[in-house]
Amino acid sequence: MLSKIVVGAVVAFSGSAIADPVSCPSNSPLSCSSSSSTDTCCYNTPGGQILLTQFWDTDPSTGPSNSWTVHGLWPDKCDGTYEEYCDSSREVSNVTAILKSKSPSTLSYMQTYWKDYQGNDESFWEHEFNKHGTCMSSLEPKCYNSYQPQEEVVDYFERAVQEFKNIPTYDWLSAAGIVPSTTKTYTLAQIQSALSSKHGQNVVIRCSSGALNELWYHFNVKGSVQTGTFVPAAPVGSGSTCSSTGIKYLPKSGSTSPTSTTTSAGSNPTGSPGQLSGTGYVYVTTSSASSGGFLVSGGTWYRNGGTPATYTATAGSDGSTFTLKTSKGNCAVQSNALTCSSSVSSPTSFGYDGTTT
């Protein structure tokens, strides 16, 4: 069985002056409006429906016991579909170093309120920017005066943190009498009423195993992501996943680390125990049935809120092992982390117990 081990790499980043984003006119159209604009620095397109998403992780727990945590800032299209990984040339592997140099207060806040539930914050942050931040039109290099590389990375995280601070989910729910409990349950209508009355629009409410664990707040933006006005918007795309009644809102507690992964075949795998070939997904199993998840293309483990990547297993010539590869490249264990990348020239050989689901 594969052991789940993912730790993001941190490389040095030297400081330099901060470039200003271009100035947008006060009458900039609202994203996803009927107005058309060729100025994609001041009109976010095609990702004009911006989502601020939050997690409530309980097993393992992340963040303060009286606060939700940041998941990400996502640019969905106006029809609810989305693009991802839009510019590989601007992907980063050193978010911690960038923010430490450019915005240390943002980094400090994220270290408390933007947490990866298996402890790999850096890898989580990289994933969020690389997948979503590179698809925001107003964060493109052309949208800066005297652009300096990775300036948009700082703006992405600063704006996400700013909007998260404007949405104190725990306090909003608590004010409506909705508090974490091991025994009490709530209705979807109760939760929606508590949140929409504060946000101004309906919120996408998501559950895992009958328990509240994620919220999506939708916005349109007047101007740029960096400096524009976020206007609450009606959700488009995927909706709430909770049942209408009996929703649990569990206290933050429970185990703190995962144990192992299993594979789930997208097409029929072949091979004997110890060896595997074919394509499929890699899912995670832990001591808690509610804490599973999957691996994305870079090798990072996500419990929800993303899409499992297709992994290709190739049987080894020794007849007992196999290697893995994704769209990112070969997979290898490097510095106690599973990494799948084009830079991996020698993939790691893994064993297999003969079981798929």
Q: Any bridge partners for residue 265, and if so which?
A: 280
Q: How far apart are CA 331 and CA 345, in angstroms?
A: 9
Burial 182-192 (b: 16+ CB within 10 A, else e): eeeebebebbb
CB-CB contact of 256 with 116 (8 Å): no
> Which residue numbers are catalytic?
71, 128, 132
Q: How far apart are CA 223 and CA 327, in angstroms?
A: 34
Helix axes 151-165, 104-113, angle to 10 degrees: 50
Burial 34-49 (b: 16+ CB within 10 A, else e): eeeeebbbbbbbbbbb
Kindly state the tokens that stand for 147. 């652009």
| Helical ranges in the chain per DSSP H | 95-102, 104-113, 121-131, 151-165, 169-175, 188-199
Q: How far apart are CA 173 and CA 69, in angstroms?
A: 14
The total number of residues shown for the chain amounts to 357
- Sequence-distant (6+) residues with CB within 8 A of 317 are none
- Sequence-distant (6+) residues with CB within 8 A of 42 are 22, 24, 25, 28, 138, 223, 224, 228
| 3-class secondary-structure state, position 246 | coil
